[in-house]
Structure 1
C-alpha cells in the first residue's frame, strides 16, 4: 500500500505558515508535496476557503495537519473525499455545535496578555513568552510576536458543524506544557475522538520544539490512511 503523498499544514492564532518551518524541509526531502496555508483568521469560512484552495491545487489524497485553531478548520474541511486523515497538534477538535469558548471556558480564564482592538486580538510579547512559546529561543519568540496574524474575535464564538474526525482516521499530538490550549482539554478531546495520541513535553508549538516527534506522527498518518 503506497503512502499519501500530500500534506496540507494549517496554522492557528497569532501564527502563520512559517510556524511549520522546522518540519517542512524534511517533508520535502522525503518526497511529500507540502502546502502551508496562510489563514486570514477573519472568519471560519475564510479559513476553510483557503484550505480548500490548497486541496484544489494538489492531486490525489492528502493528510490535513491542524495546529491550535487550525484544528477547528480541518475538523470541517476533513469531510472532503480527498482528505485521507487528520493530524491535530495541540489543537481544537470541536464536536457539532461547539465553539472555542465552549471548549476553553471549562478549563480556565482567558490570559491577560490578549489585547482586543478593532475586533481583532493581539498577543503581547509577555503573552508569547508565557502562553505560547515558553520553551522556544528568544529569537523565535520575537519572530512569532512580530509576525503574528491577529484573529477576529468572532472566531472564538463560531460554532462547529459535524466533525470529520468521526469518519476519518485521526492522530493527536498532546503538548503537556501548553499554556494556550490546556493539556486537560487536549486529553479530553483526543479521547473523545478516539485519536491515536502521542504526548510530548512541549509548549504550544510542538512542531517547533519537538519536530522529530511531529514528523513521526505525520509519517504514520500518510502510511496508514491511504
Structure 2
C-alpha cells in the first residue's frame, strides 16, 4: 500500500510520540528539587555515638560569631527514645526558626525529630539518614564495612571504641592530642541503639544538607553519598575523616550557615 504524504507524516509523528512515552516510562523517578531554607537564627547540634556535646566545640564559636544562637545537646545514648526526648527538650526552648544538625548516629535523631515545626532545615555531617521504619543495619550491610567497627568493645549492654580504633579510625585527621581528649570523654553507647528504627523521616519534607567525609573510617563514604543522593540533599564532600566538624570546622560551619539562609553553600566546599 502506498502512503500519501499526509499519512506518512502522521505515522512519523505517532512513532516519535511513542518513543517519548517509552523513554519517560524507562527513566528513573527524580526526587523533588530542594526548596531554599528560610532564614534561621537558632542552631541545635546533636552529637553521635561514642561522643558528647564537646565534639562541636570547634564549630560553635564560628556559628556564634555569625550571630546565631547555638545549643549543643547532651543527648543520652541509651535509646532512640531517650536521645529524641533530650533533643525535643532543647528544641522546645528555641524561640523561632531552627537548623537541626546531627553527626554520625544522630542523623537518626535529625530524621526523627526534624519534623518539629520550629525546624526549618536539616544538616547531616557524616551521618546516618534513615527512612521511617527502615532497617538501617541491613542497608549499611550493602556498603563496605568501615574499619572502626573492629574496635567496638561491649560491656553490660553498652559499647565504646578502643583507643586504637578511636584514634586511627574514628578521629583520623584530628591532631593526636585533641583526639585523645575526645577519646577521654566518649559517651558509652547502648548496643541496641544502632537497631532502633525511626517513625519519621523529616528529610522528605524539609531542606536537607549533607557533608560527606571522603576519608571516613567509621561510616562508609559510599553509604554517605547514597544517603545524600536519596534525600536530594545539598551536598559537599570534605577531605576529612569521621569527625569532620573537628578537623574541618570552617567548612562544616559554612554548610550550617547555608542551611540557616546566611551563606552560599559553595563556600563550604572550599
State the TM-score, normalizing by the size of structure 1.
Answer: 0.95
1:62 matched to 2:60? The reply is no
Highest CA radius of gyration, 1 or 2?
Answer: 2
| Partner residue in 1 for 2:82 | 46
Instruction: In structure 1, list runs of 5 or more residues that go unmatched.
Output: none
Q: Give the gaps of 5 or more residues in structure 2.
A: 1-36, 263-270
SS of the residue 2:131 aligns to = coil
SS in 1 for 2:203: helix
Q: Look up the match of 1:71.
A: 107
**1:221 match:** 259
Q: Greater relative contact order: 1 or 2 (C-alpha under 8 angstroms, separation 6 or more)?
A: 1
- 1:119 to 2:160 alignment: no
- Measured in 2, the distance between the counterparts of 1:44 and 1:2 equals 28
1:6 maps to which residue?
42
Matches within 5 A, 1:79-158: 79-109=115-145, 111-158=149-196
Q: Which runs of 4+ in 1 moved over 4 A?
A: none
RMSD (Å), alpha carbons? 1.6
Residue 193 of structure 1 deviates from its aligned partner by: 0.3
- Measured against aligned partners, the alpha-carbon deviations of 1:129-181 in whole angstroms (never above 9, x if no partner) come to 22211111111111121101011011111112230000000000000000101
Query: By how many angstroms is 1:61 displaced?
Result: 1.1
**Structure 1 stretch displaced more, 70-79 or 105-114:** 105-114
Displacement of 1:109 in angstroms is: 4.1
C-alpha separation in 1, matches of 2:211 and 2:69: 22
Is the partner of 2:142 in helix, strand or coil?
Answer: helix
